[in-house]
Structure 1
């Protein structure tokens, strides 16, 4: 008999096509929760882009006149302040996106048992894990900054000491750092899902992700690359008409317009571009988050026998307003469905060799 499929995917280890199809179904069945959270994650960057575009277009002449009569120290201070503001917005965007990415795992897990999730319910179920998600985002950001600073410092040191030979050595070192970054990224990719579903802390979530992805690294990398390419292609297709707008608008609406009309058109096109970019980014973000969550559920089915627990939960109808997989500790030593602890051993219901 085929395994049951109460929701978006069958209750067994998943294939690539099932992960793709399940991700689309999650977005369709929980559009308010998934797209609403994605728009929140993308809105801050979109607003910043629109404001910068409008400010640049409307004040370029006055800025040039002001800069011509300003000292270099004032210009440097202005540049540093602008860079600090952009960095602050980027950090806030990353933290918000990390929290919302963890929250969006909830509709995916509930959709496996065909349980719809509203935006309010998603946030209610994910709210207790916000602190752990923020700490996880802080750890990942610190690791990312370290991964950027170490190669930069090494490049400066090699260039200063070895000059031409140091520049030649930078190429293999750069490729090595990129490969190391990708390897670690894949190993830690399902940490937000582990933090939310298994109610783990930030560091425990990282360790859990490292454990779950063991022996599945190449498979996860392949899925991630395919999804990233798909999202990039769709985003470029959506933005192609926007790139054709400036010459068309300038030709047909204001062929003899002055600087004022050109400036207004540039502002309007910048705002439209930011809005369309946010919409395309929200759809891609929702799809990528759904794929990440289904990869996590698939890994737990392979290693922990989570599909058996979900099947029992579906048959009994237990915890209809909760998160499927939360509270099930099938992958931990000593767990037993009968409630007694026989000591360390293989997880009940786990697939052989984690496959």
Structure 2
């Protein structure tokens, strides 16, 4: 009788037919090349931060620093533009019998406000998209264990920023319809609650209660599609950077990868957002409290009749500390979640498309020389 040769390629063909466990999956970078657990995703994101510090921290600091400078310049320009209109505005307010200033007096302030608001929103969208593209570029190198510097990540990420902005805006427009309906439903709840409180018992109270119930049901019905769409498209930014997809193709790609795995992806995304939000909030609170120390010390030295220059100097120091705290929050919330969401994308492709083989081959192939 033939000798028992074991149970497969990893069996012991020797005497006794013993069995040895298969070898562990390859891990050229921050994650093993197999379906990932939640802990491995969080650990892979933290390992990426640790290995690529210059890019992970340097790019967000530069981007949000420039964003803060641009916003500050916009505010200064807006204040300079309305400085000549302030006396006329104050005279119009103080004029006897005037209930509100005329439009001619309000127009410069309205224009200045919306100009600053436009700079604020456009700059924030650009900054967030740039940092998100950079974090995904970092992860693309981290998964296969390749080195990446500030400059290489910047060159890799910058061309994908327009497509990433388009993807964000397109997914936002798609999710806006149920979101607006949800806002309408919440407004119905508020109105219904107010009417119910004012009506008391009787027919009016019954009608108000029905009105309130309809608003609650409407809010639930409209919130669910908005959340579903948000998770459905959450992997689209990774498709933009990893696969160089356009906005529409990236949304379609994300929908394919999320299909059948909506609940796990939703749960991990919420967990990561909570972790980043809590850490950012704690850092901002600590820095904000530390900012009060020089403020209180300086306030005690001002005396009973402080000079305006001293007051402005004192407040400027505090505002700088608050700005640094805000920037620290931006950095935390714009780095950790994109890294984990990128690993969610890698995990789904490993599960559904056997991406592990291609990643192992890519890790074994040296990168092309940079010119």
What TM-score, normalized to structure 1? 0.76
User: In 1, are the aligned partners of 2:179 and 2:223 still within 8 Å (CA)?
Assistant: no
- State the distance in 1 between where 2:181 and 2:369 align: 46
Given candidates 344, 349, 354, the residue that maps to 1:295 is 344
- Give RMSD over aligned pairs: 3.6
**What is the alpha-carbon distance in structure 2 between the residues aligned to residue 255 and residue 108 of structure 1?**
50
1:240 aligns with 2:262: no
* Alpha-carbon distance in 1 for matches of 2:78, 2:246: 43
Quote the residue 1:282 is aligned against.
Answer: 331
- Structure 1 segments unaligned to the other structure (5+ residues): 323-355
The count of residues paired between Structure 1 and Structure 2 equals 319
Deviation by residue 1:246-278 (Cα, 9 ceiling, x = unmatched): 653344233151262333222211121112221
Question: Secondary structure of 1:254's partner?
Answer: helix
1:273 aligns with 2:322: yes
Offset at residue 203 of structure 1 (A): 0.2
Per the alignment, residue 194 of structure 1 pairs with: 239
Alpha-carbon distance in 2 for matches of 1:62, 1:247: 34
Q: 1:177 to 1:99 in 2, by over 3 A?
A: farther
Instruction: Supply the distance in 2 between the matched residues of 1:111 and 1:154 (Cα, whole angstroms).
Output: 45
The answer (yes or no) to whether the contact 2:160–2:240 under 8 Å persists in 1 is yes
Among 80, 87, 111, the residue aligned to 2:118: 87
Name the larger-Rg structure.
2
1:118 and 2:163 equivalent?
no
**Unaligned regions of 5+ residues in structure 2, if any?**
1-22, 93-100, 196-207
Q: Do 1:41 and 1:100's aligned partners in 2 also have CA atoms closer than 8 Å? A: yes
Distance 1:140 1:23, change over 3 A: same
Superposition map of 1:1-355 within 5 A = 1-43=23-65, 46-47=68-69, 67-70=89-92, 71-73=101-103, 74-75=105-106, 78-79=109-110, 81-143=112-174, 146=177, 148-152=179-183, 164=195, 165=208, 166=211, 169-245=214-290, 247-257=292-302, 258=306, 260=308, 261-315=310-364, 317=365, 319=367
Q: Secondary structure at the match of 1:253?
A: helix
Mapped to 2, the partners of 1:254 and 1:170 lie a distance apart of 50
Native 8 Å contact 1:33 1:118 kept in 2: yes
> Is 1:16–1:223's contact at 8 Å kept on the other side of the alignment?
yes
The alpha carbon displacement at 1:207 in A equals 0.4
- Once residues 55 and 195 of structure 1 are traced to their aligned partners in structure 2, the CA distance between those partners, rounded to angstroms, is 36
CA contact (8 A) 2:35 2:347 kept: yes
Give the structure-2-normalised TM-score: 0.73
**Larger RCO: 1 or 2 (CA < 8 Å, sep 6+):** 1
Is the deviation greater in 129-138 or in 47-56? 47-56
For 1:235 and 1:169, locate their aligned partners in 2 and report how far apart those are by CA, in whole Å: 38
Tell me how far 1:114 sits from its aligned partner. Answer: 1.0
In 1, the alpha carbon distance for the partners of 2:71 and 2:160 equals: 30
